[in-house]
Structure 1
Amino acid sequence: MELIRKLSDVEASFAYMHALLKGNTQVTTWMSIDAPLGAAELGDAVRRWARRLPLLRARIEERDGSLWFAAGPGPGPEQLRHGPVPAGHSPEDLLAEELNDVLPTGGALWRLRAATDEQAGVTHLYFTRNHAISDGHSTGGTLRVLLEELFGAPRNAAPEPFSRNADELTYTAPAPGAEGLRTLPDAPGPVPGIPFAVRAPWEERGTAFVPADLSSAGSEAVKLYCRRRGLTVNQFFATALAESFALATGRDEVEFFTAVSLRRRYAEEESLADLGCFISVARAPLRLGGGSFKEHAEAYRDGFRAADAAWRPQARPHHEIRAAVAAAAAADSAPGICITNVGPVDASLGAHAGRVTGFRTVVNRTGANYGLVLHLSTFRGAFGLALSYGTPSVDPSVAEGTAKLLRERLALAAGAASGEDPRPRRPYGSVTIPATQGLRPVPAAAGRGRAARGTAPRTRPGAAG
């Protein structure tokens, strides 16, 4: 196959994680459409879709110890699945199945599953891909093109060319905020990692997630809460996640990771839309010393800004990246927790967004680089949230307890758009987590083997988005 370009450091990390950690970082986006799509109709649209977009025609090849994007063939029959919604299955159940059905290494980098509910008049689409080929921005544009092919768009358009210089982008360092960055106190030492409850063989691991969506009214109340306190939405949800996790685990400090888009950091911005993953992850410790919610949010803000401004692209040889990922695969703990936000999805879906009735993106986290990840998006003005975690690596009671406490925090914010915030409960370690009625984790797909405890020595893993 014709080689296009070498994978960047971030992309190679994702590709090696997918291969060595059995699907870790694989991404699935669920999009529900208000039309029952037939197999022939969808198949024709998918073939046109793949012809238009380089992202859908790519493969990953290893040459001389490095990973390269290559121009692959059109979609094969295994990349499109079509059938009715199985009896007794919810859209979230199918999302969990697709998330845990790992794309084979060395083969196709994406898959689309369609599950039609004739009685409800909807089709649920599940777009699963290797994280090396896309990020939140390019995925939104990719699904927009699919909607165009299904419901009205230019037909038989010429294939878009591959961009060949995306591995030689000119990085533009971020400028500090107008108020400047505070000098952060040095951490007393490495923040303890999050030990795995069970260290199972990689082929027996999977991912589960707990949905915790807000209604439109609740979302508007949270936005008002943020405006009146000078907080961004990301600062609010990151702090709510950190406080909830601290209460659930008895911690007063946690390593916090924030996924960041790099699409405005490169001079050649026009070359960033066709293929690849252009994100970084800012990592900073966050102390939760019993202050107010706003004080914790300000600490998160300052730590995140400093870490983000200090980030620079790496140019490690791919054999070093592979070795780092192999070390992460041997770990029996995760370094911290993470938030990722794809933002408002309506605009990225284009003119046919009105046909979309449901939307969620979740990343497979088999337990290597983060203990818990909060996936955040905004659709039709409402916040969609899902808390994902590796199974059986992370104790489900930690995820369920964090999700319940997170929902409590969101309810407090919605009910206290004005006035003082309640002080957090202290000490963090004294909290008994109540039963999580109404919150259920969506389990990993069936077929994984029984987990067993392991005894490998602890290795501090690296992290990628």
Structure 2
Amino acid sequence: MQPYRLLDETEQRFHQNFLHRNGNTQVTSLLTVPGCVSAVQARKAFAQLIADYPFLRQKIVPISSHRYGFVQVEDHVHATLCATQPPLCTDALLKLELNCLLGDQEGWRALVVPDPAVNRTHILLTRNHAISDGYSTARLVNSLTLYLGSTPSGADDLQPGAFHLRLHHWRESPIETGKASYADFLRLQVSADAAQRIGQLRETSGFTSNAIWGGVFAYSYLRHTGVPALDLFTAYSLRDPSGHAEPLSKACLIDVRKATFSAEPLDLMGCIERYGWVVSQDKAQLRAKVATPVRHVDVADNPTRPALAFTNTGLLDRFLTPPTGRVLGFSTLVNRSGGNYEFVLHLGRFNGTWHAALAFSSLKVHRAAACAFKSQIEAALCALPAAFNLP
């Protein structure tokens, strides 16, 4: 057998969900850059990317009946012209790629869509969640923009238009999964006033932005549905903040924790306070490395309680090498087609703006219900006070 590295607990959990199409299947990041990127230019940039980030040139194979391992594969990048021109609307592109499933051993693929009319290119990078978290995504985005900027386009061997990129290994392997996917999402409109309120409340209360958003999320669902309780799962980074300059050898390094909002009546501020306390306790335990990670289940421990999830990829700008004008747009979403959560709130910040999306499975949630819940969250954001008045 080829040399391999066993997946750790988190990687294993994400990969099993990926194989079972159980909610945490794959991550798609949309990056918009200036200019029309050619296939030659993109191949060279991605070749440099996988040379610098070894986790992009590996597949995940079964080692035993219950364990999986990473195995290195050929790292030649291959480009294929799209049979039909994809849409130019960014959200339509994201939904298209979210629902185009990776093969069972395929680690990643990219879709490159030039838009000559506005002289920009959309790049969609899709990864198995076992090789992706918010931190590694930001590092990949920064490196890719640097490589694209230093690589002249050169003579192109493909006709103008959109094209796919993947390792040559996947081109010669079956990549059609034959499995349907039902991932959907809605963008939240975060007004300038709401963003200002979040900042003011963070400064006056001492709660983090995550605590405020998580409290708003839980409160909005309780108010929207009238359920007596819910479970809110949160993804935490396990990385050392001082290691940003170190080589990135591990692409997924997170833990998922659960907070239960029970039957006691909580107003908006009560939910923020409750979630802020949970976040501070979880972070303290993770730093101390004494707590046992919660088992990430397909449904809540109590099946009568709805399960929600919350993720924040953080501020992309702090990872970008100046000048930051090489990035015109950015967002990341996870395929939530398995329906193990009712909703997942994906957050990120870029260029001083909050980017928020509400992800769900169209098998489990009607789009009209998702729209109504989205409106409830937006209303709660607008109702945030500028200060937290403790009794």
TM-score (norm 2): 0.81
| Residue of structure 1 in register with 2:237 after alignment | 261
Q: Deviations over 1:65-95 (max 9, x none)?
A: 32111111114536x66699645x5100010
Separation (CA, whole Å) in 2 of partners of 1:418 and 1:83: 54
| Residue of structure 2 in register with 1:251 after alignment | 227
Separation (CA, whole Å) in 2 of partners of 1:70 and 1:58: 5
Q: Structure 1 residues 349 and 216 mapped into 2: Cα distance closer, same or farther (>3 Å)?
A: farther
| Residue of structure 1 in register with 2:14 after alignment | 14
| Residue of structure 1 in register with 2:367 after alignment | 396
Separation (CA, whole Å) in 2 of partners of 1:248 and 1:355: 40
Separation (CA, whole Å) in 1 of partners of 2:388 and 2:313: 30
Cα RMSD (Å): 3.3
Separation (CA, whole Å) in 1 of partners of 2:244 and 2:119: 40
Q: Does the aligned pair in 1 maintain the 2:255–2:293 contact within 8 Å?
A: no
| Residue of structure 1 in register with 2:121 after alignment | 123
Separation (CA, whole Å) in 1 of partners of 2:274 and 2:388: 21
3-state SS of the aligned residue for 2:47? Answer: helix
User: 1:215 Cα deviation (Å)?
Assistant: 4.9
3-state SS of the aligned residue for 1:401? Answer: helix
| Residue of structure 2 in register with 1:138 after alignment | 136
Q: Does the aligned pair in 2 maintain the 1:344–1:377 contact within 8 Å?
A: yes
Q: Deviations over 1:414-456 (max 9, x none)?
A: xx435979xxxxxxxxxxxxxxxxxxxxxxxxxxxxxxxxxxx
Q: Tell whether 2:42 aligns with 1:73.
A: no
User: 1:22 Cα deviation (Å)?
Assistant: 6.5
Q: Tell whether 2:198 aligns with 1:222.
A: yes
Match 1:417 to one of 383, 386, 389: 386
Q: Tell whether 2:248 aligns with 1:279.
A: no
Q: Which runs of 5+ in 1 are unaligned?
A: 154-201, 422-465
Q: Deviations over 1:396-416 (max 9, x none)?
A: 333222110111111223xx4
Separation (CA, whole Å) in 2 of partners of 1:98 and 1:390: 15
User: 1:97 Cα deviation (Å)?
Assistant: 0.6
Amino-acid identity (%): 27
Range 39-48 or range 113-122, more displaced? 39-48
Q: Structure 1 residues 81 and 6 mapped into 2: Cα distance closer, same or farther (>3 Å)?
A: farther
User: 1:120 Cα deviation (Å)?
Assistant: 0.9
Q: Does the aligned pair in 2 maintain the 1:57–1:75 contact within 8 Å?
A: no
Match 1:356 to one of 317, 322, 327: 327
3-state SS of the aligned residue for 1:351? Answer: coil
3-state SS of the aligned residue for 1:393? Answer: coil
Q: Structure 1 residues 64 and 86 mapped into 2: Cα distance closer, same or farther (>3 Å)?
A: closer
User: 1:277 Cα deviation (Å)?
Assistant: 1.1
| Residue of structure 1 in register with 2:112 after alignment | 114
Q: Does the aligned pair in 1 maintain the 2:43–2:78 contact within 8 Å?
A: no
Which residues of 2 match residues 38-77 of structure 1 at below 5 A?
38-65=38-65, 66-77=67-78
Q: Structure 1 residues 333 and 210 mapped into 2: Cα distance closer, same or farther (>3 Å)?
A: farther
Separation (CA, whole Å) in 2 of partners of 1:314 and 1:272: 27
Which residues of 2 match residues 431-446 of structure 1 at below 5 A?
none
Q: Structure 1 residues 6 and 358 mapped into 2: Cα distance closer, same or farther (>3 Å)?
A: same
Separation (CA, whole Å) in 2 of partners of 1:271 and 1:4: 23
User: 1:228 Cα deviation (Å)?
Assistant: 2.3
| Residue of structure 1 in register with 2:217 after alignment | 241
Separation (CA, whole Å) in 2 of partners of 1:152 and 1:100: 32
Separation (CA, whole Å) in 1 of partners of 2:198 and 2:353: 10
Q: Does the aligned pair in 2 maintain the 1:214–1:385 contact within 8 Å?
A: yes
Q: Structure 1 residues 86 and 402 mapped into 2: Cα distance closer, same or farther (>3 Å)?
A: same
Q: Does the aligned pair in 2 maintain the 1:208–1:388 contact within 8 Å?
A: yes
Q: Structure 1 residues 367 and 244 mapped into 2: Cα distance closer, same or farther (>3 Å)?
A: farther
- Say how many residue pairs are matched: 358
3-state SS of the aligned residue for 1:366? Answer: coil
Q: Structure 1 residues 307 and 276 mapped into 2: Cα distance closer, same or farther (>3 Å)?
A: same
Match 2:269 to one of 282, 287, 294: 294
Q: Does the aligned pair in 1 maintain the 2:36–2:121 contact within 8 Å?
A: yes
Which residues of 2 match residues 445-456 of structure 1 at below 5 A?
none
Q: Deviations over 1:208-227 (max 9, x none)?
A: 00101425564234211332
Q: Deviations over 1:97-135 (max 9, x none)?
A: 1011110002x3001111111111110110100010121
Q: Does the aligned pair in 1 maintain the 2:53–2:249 contact within 8 Å?
A: yes
| Residue of structure 2 in register with 1:92 after alignment | 91
Q: Deviations over 1:265-294 (max 9, x none)?
A: 9x9999882233110111020136444422
Q: Deviations over 1:334-354 (max 9, x none)?
A: 851011011100122323532
Range 299-308 or range 24-33, more displaced? 299-308
Separation (CA, whole Å) in 2 of partners of 1:45 and 1:74: 13
Q: Does the aligned pair in 2 maintain the 1:25–1:364 contact within 8 Å?
A: yes
Q: Deviations over 1:315-367 (max 9, x none)?
A: 99xxxx9xx98x77xx9988510110111001223235322111111101113
| Residue of structure 2 in register with 1:210 after alignment | 186
